[in-house]
Structure 1
Amino acid sequence: MQYWLVLGLAICLEVAGTISMKFSQGFTRLLPSILLFIFYGASFTALTVALKRIDVGIAYAIWAGLGTALISILGVFFFKEPVSILKAVSVLLIILGVIGLNMSGVQH
């Protein structure tokens, strides 16, 4: 169970790194640019720890999929990015894919 929590931490850190990327404005702002590397480094470190007990195909798909879905949702709510039916359905499909991977019968 602790490795799944570490994977969750890796996802949160990846999202924080991506938000820092947005705030860095193309590396023109120092603090968000520094935070970008710190958050991504910490995210990859946590992902590496999670891979001790979680299959790489499952862990990476969840890390990438949920990170993408969360960033898309945060983009709409906090950065006022446009939303469409296609975008909403696509995010839902990502989340359903992650659920499907977890229910695939693989022993954790």
Structure 2
Amino acid sequence: MNISIKDLSLKMEWIYLFIAATFEIGWAVSLKYTEGFSKLYPTIVMVIFMVLSFYFLSQAVKNLPIGTGYAVWTGTAVIGTAILGVFLFNEPYNIGRVLCIMLIATGIVGLKFISG
């Protein structure tokens, strides 16, 4: 099995995108802990996560289509944030919400496959 530099580069773009989405989830959850930016340390953490999220997104979209990168970034962050919201903040969940999250996940997988 031969893997070219281009193949590795493309895979790195998806890894960067996953890292960016992880930091996106981190800053979204951190936002809740800032309590309207009234708590200093959670606000600092949120800003750091936000900067890292944008940095890794910028690395990912060097070679990925911007529409695909942005959609996967936000979609993955929506899923992760919704799941953490249930566990960390006792947000409600029901079959309708789960089905909608599954639709987002299906779209993300679809974008990955059609983007190569």
Fold conserved between structures, TM > 0.5 = yes
Structure 1 unmatched runs, 5+: none
Aligned counterpart, 2:54 = 44
Counterparts in 2 of 1:70-89, with a 5 A limit? Answer: 70-89=80-99
Aligned partner of 2:47: which letter?
F
- Which protein shows a greater Rg? 2
User: Structure 2 regions of 5+ residues with no counterpart?
Assistant: 1-10
For the aligned residues, what is the CA RMSD? 0.9
Residues 1-32 of structure 1, C-alpha deviation per residue, up to 9 Å, x if partnerless? 11111111100111111111011111111101
Corresponding pairs, count = 106
Q: Name 2:4's counterpart in structure 1.
A: none
Shift of 1:72: 0.4
**TM-score relative to the length of structure 2:** 0.87
State the AA in 2 paired with 1:58. T
Q: TM-score, normalised by structure 1?
A: 0.93
- One-letter identity of the residue aligned with 1:86: G
